[in-house]
Structures are given as C-alpha cells and as structure tokens.
Amino acid sequence: MERFLIGAEPVIPTAAAIHVSHLWAGYETGSVLEDINLTVQRLDFIGLIGPNGGGKTTLLKVLLGLLPPTRGEVRIMGKPVREGRKHIGYVPQVVAFDHDFPVNVWDVARMGRLGRRGLFRRYSSRDDAVAEQALRQVEMWELRTRPIGELSGGQRQRVYIARALATEPDILLLDEPTASVDPKISTSIYELLQRLNDHVTIVLISHDMSAVSSYVKTVGCLNRHLFYHEDRYLTPEMLELAYQCPIDLIAHGAPHRVFAPHPFGDEVVHDHDHGGAVG
Amino acid sequence: MIAAILEALQFAFMRHALLAGVLVSVACGIIGAYVVVNRIVFISGGIAHAAYGGIGLGFFFKYNLLPLLFVNAAAALDQRPGYFPLVGAILFSLAAALVMGLVQRRTRQRADTIIGVLWAIGMAVGIIFVDLTQGYKVDLMSYLFGSILAVESSELLIILALDVIIVVLVALFYKELLAISFDETFATVENVPVDVIYLLLLAMIAMTVVMLMRVVGLIMVIAMLTIPAAISGLFVKDLKRMMVLSSFLGMVFTTLGLWFSYSWNLTSGAAIILVGGVTYLLSLMVHPVLLRARRRRLEQAEA
C-alpha cells in the first residue's frame, strides 16, 4: 500500500529534491530574498526557521511557482518549477481557511488528486484509493464524513497533510504545521511527519524555534539570506545572523535540541533548567 | 383554500409566474451557493447593475437602430417585447463579469472601489440609453423590481435554457469550482486553470443575474442569490446539498411569495423577498440551538 505514496511521475534520478541557486525574489517594495542557495537532498527533513518577515513565505511562494523569482533558478526534482511542483505536496497554514466552508474531510483529501485528474475527468477509483490511503495514514479515515469546520486544529492539520499525500508527492512542503495546535498534538504531527519521511522529502517552514525539534535532519535560518550547512545543528552565528538579536533571548523557553550538545551550550544557554532538553 | 389555489392557477400569467419561480430557483440555488461560500456578493451586485446598462442598450438598438436597418424589425420584435433587452443584458453583464473578474485579480487598486464604480456606470448607461430611445418609454420599474406576473413563454424557454447551461457547466467543472472556492492556492499548485475557472464562475453569475432580474428585479437579485444559500449554509455542510436545499428554498419562497401577492394584492417581488428574508432571520435564531445539540451529540459519540 505504501507504494501509492511514491511519486508516479517520472523523476530525473540523480537530481536533488530541490535545488535553488542564486535566487533573488521580492515585490515592488524591494527584495525579500537575496542570493539564496539551497540544495535539499532526497529524503531530507529540513526545517527552515526565521523571524516573521524574514522571507519564509516568499521562499514558499517561489518554490510553489506562485511568485516568479527576480533572479536565479529553482529546480524541483531537476525540473523547472511549473512542472516540478507536481512533485510537491503542499500543506498550507491551517489558519488561512474559512471554517464554515461546506466541505467534508473526504472532499478535501480528494482535492489532492486534482493535479492528476485534469479537466472534464471524474475522480477514478484509483484516485479514491489513494485518497483513502492518505487519510488512513494520518488516522483521519474514520472522520471522513465530518465537515471540515467541526474538526479540531490538529485534526484539520492532519487532513491537509492527507490532501498533500494524496498528490503522491516526492516532497512535502509544510507552512507552520503546528502554529495553531497544542504541544501534545504538535508532537503527534511531528511523529507522523517522521514516519512519512521514510518515503518523502520534507521541507518545513516555521517562525517557531520550538517547531524545529529533534525530528528534523537538517536546519537552516532564513532572514533575507539563508544560513544553511546541511547539518542538524544551528550555530549561534547562524542564529545571530538570522535573527540579529542576542542568542540567549531566543534560546530562553525554546527546546534546545537544535543546538549542538557541547561546544557552546554553556556560553549561550545559561542558568535555566533545560536539563535533558539539550542535545 | 384549495378552490382559491385552483382559481389562481386558471390564469396563464399565474402558471407562468410559478414556473418562472421554479426555474429561477434552480439557477439561483446553485450559483447562490458559490456566491455565498466565495463571499462575492458585492461582485454579484456589480454585475447585476451593469446588466441594467445592457437592458438600456437593448432597448436603444431595438427601437432606434434596428428600424433604420430593417423597417419591420421593431414590429417583428414586438411580438415578444422582453426578448431583445434580455439578450442585451446577457451580453452586457457577461462583459461586466469578465472586466470585474480581471480587475479583482490583476489590479493592485482596491478591487471593491472599482467594482463600485462599474456598478454605478452600468446603471447610468442603462438610464441614458433609455432616455435616448425615441418613441417608446419602457417601464424601468419592471426591471428594478421585477415583473414575474408578466413573464412570457418565450422567456420561460430562455430561462430553462440558461438553467440547463448552468447545470451542465457546474457538473462538468464541479471539482475545479469546489477547489478554487475552498483553497485557490492549492488549486493553483495542482495546475488547475484557476483564472479560467474563476471567470467561468463569474460568467455563470452574470447569466443567473439576468434571469433573476426579470423575475424578482434588479434590486432584489442580490437578496435572491444570497438568502436561500445563506439559510442552507447554516444547516448543511456539503456544497452539493447546499445547492439542492437552496434551490428548494428558492422554489418555496417564490411560490409562497406569489401566493401572498395574489391573495392580498401585493407587489410580487417584494413579497417573495420578504418570505425569504423572514425565513433567514428565523433560521439565524434556530441555528445556535441546533448547533449546540449537534455538538453535544458529537461529544457523546467521542466520549
């Protein structure tokens, strides 16, 4: 059954999941992203963090082909964005929806099949099978007839993940997936993502330090420029550059797993009881 | 009571009116559901008023330009007076829908301002062209407040044809229309031709508006598109069911409204809208009670 989730679209075998080179992007008011270089390897689980207004949304729009870059190049599975975005399962922020919209869980999950089923064609039994499989994976199959407005934040997030999975993606792109759920639910969502990561590359964007927990494989900081070393540890320098504020302010109250266990822990994260949270 | 109903049905205009109400309700139920969930009531109002410009244009062509070209044209058209303005209104409101759709999506100006301006211009164009039309002063009030009691069989056929077109188009593009209404960004990423589908939706709104204009009148078009869909949106959480329920409610409102209008000699369009409006207000009062009961049931089921 898991086979459903491996992309049916032919992919260029050697290409990186996402390759961004010398990307500049922005709006009439000026550049938001400057000279971004990023290579996301297959089956990576990358967390991109950064302050609000640091360009996370802009990068997301560029990756989804919603905003043309002013300079530079983006390739997804070795293809230009418009074609390559077929390989992306996009999970938007939950808050952006009209909760009164008359649609149920099953209808939303099947929207993941839109890209495979063009105009004038009904959803096939295979489409239904894929959507069902996706809902089962996120444990929302039992609630398939439930209107979307009657779900909790965490359940709704799972439905949007199912919709993204129904596209049979090679890459899952998530925008603040735990922004509106409580910590317990957010743990279960990260565990789900970690399981999915066996088959799918995951790119997660968040302004929340705590979101980039021990689940990610690599982490980068985005604030106009990208600081990324294909490594799971943030250095204080990266954070300082990205947030442009003293590190201990950020470190306070956030899980510290993203920091390397030894070299700087004492200097940066001092005095309070972080205990086992570090490392 | 039954005798009175049978008596009313003996009049051809009454049968026509009832049938018109039913036919219009189908289109307004389906399209109204999209208008309500997409929150584009204002654009629909703009399209409706722009359609008025088409009516003025239609009358002008019919009585001033056509007779210059074909001497007997106006006389021939007089066999079915509503026809030519209706065609003018359809074309004009389709054009207005396209312009408003493009304005809303492409410009960085405030879209609602531009729509408000187009709304007013459409209205003014209609009035000016009727002023310019010589020798025949149409009853503009019939387009503002509707004349469901004067619907002719040729118009019934046109409304039926538009109904069929709308049902076919919605059936063909249902999953795309649902997708762009629910989450346009996701639809774009899935390479759904979002702009085309959106303009299609606006074009269907334009067609529906023209149909409704004749029956309940321009002023009440917005209410007729909104009220049945708003009521059903309270009670059903599925777009298809919402369409069916809205259509059904529309039929009930037009039929009841016509009956009150016939019994007490009231303006038919206003009677229809009041029936719908009162039902909506009652629904708003009942809804929270039902919602609480449903929540309780859900919680018990999960416990």
Q: A–B: how many Cβ contacts below 8 A? A: 81
**DSSP characters over A63-102:** HTTSS--SEEEEEETTEEHHHHGGGEEEE--GGGS-TT-S
Residue A145 sits at the chain B interface (C-beta within 8 Å): no
Is residue A276 within 8 angstroms of chain B, CB to CB? Answer: no
Distance between terminal CA atoms of chain A?
Answer: 36
DSSP type of residue B11: S
- The ipTM (two decimal places) reads 0.81
Tokens standing for residue B276: 């719908």
- Which of B37, B190, B237 is closest, CB to CB, to A114? B190
Percent of chain B predicted with pLDDT > 90: 36
d(CA A184, CA B165): 51
Distance separating alpha carbons of residues A7 and A125, to the nearest angstrom = 18
Rounded to an integer, the average pLDDT of A84-88 is 92
Q: What is the edge-to-edge ordering of all strands in the sheet holding A18-27?
A: A30-40, A18-27, A71-76, A79-80
Q: What is the CA radius of gyration of chain B?
A: 21
Strand-by-strand arrangement of the A225-228 sheet:
A88-91, A171-175, A201-206, A45-49, A218-223, A225-228
CA atoms of A216 and B92, how far apart (whole Å) = 56
Q: How confident is the model at residue B303 (pLDDT cuts 50, 70, 90)?
A: low
Amino acid in position B1: M
Cα–Cα dist A273/B136, whole Å: 89
Chain A residue numbers touching B193 (CB-CB < 8 A): 119
Collect all residues of chain B within an 8 Å Cβ-Cβ radius of residue A66.
185, 188-189
* Spatial contact of A145 and A104, defined as CB atoms under 8 Å apart: yes
Helix pair angle (B194-216, B174-182), 10° resolution: 100
Q: Where are the domains of chain B?
A: 2-294
Q: What is the pLDDT of residues A168-206, one digit of tens each?
A: 999 999 998 887 777 788 888 888 999 999 999 999 998
pLDDT at A98: 74
How confident is the model over B48-106, as pLDDT tens digits? Answer: 888 888 888 887 877 666 555 555 545 555 554 445 566 777 788 888 888 888 877 77
Amino acid A54: pLDDT: 83
Pairing relationship of beta strands A218-223 and A225-228 according to DSSP bridges: antiparallel
pLDDT score at A2: 41
Cβ contact B47:B90 at 8 Å: no
* pLDDT recorded at residue A261: 46
CB A157 within 8 A of CB A186: no
Segments in chain B forming alpha helices (H): 2-9, 12-38, 41-60, 66-69, 73-77, 83-106, 111-132, 141-145, 153-172, 174-182, 184-189, 194-216, 218-235, 239-264, 268-302
Beta pairing class for A79-80 and A71-76: antiparallel
Distance CA(A166)–CA(B251), nearest Å, equals 39
So what's the pLDDT on residue A145? 93
The answer to whether residue A79 neighbours chain B at the CB level (below 8 Å) is no
CB contact under 8 A, B237 and A120: no
Superfamily of domain B2-294: ABC transporter involved in vitamin B12 uptake, BtuC (1.10.3470.10)
A contacts of B246 (beta carbons < 8 Å): none
pLDDT of amino acid B64: 66
pTM of the model: 0.83
- Looking at residue A276, what DSSP letter applies? G
Distance between CA atoms of residues A233 and A235, nearest Å: 6
Instruction: Return the pLDDT at A266.
Output: 40
Put simply, whether A103 touches B (Cβ < 8 Å) is yes
Structural domains of chain A sorted by starting position, each given as residue range(s) with its CATH number in brackets:
16-277 (3.40.50.300)
Residues of chain B contacting residue A149, judged by C-beta atoms under 8 Å apart: 237
Q: Report the gap between the CA of A88 and the closest CA in chain B (Å).
A: 8
Q: Which residues of A touch B241 (CB under 8 A)?
A: 102
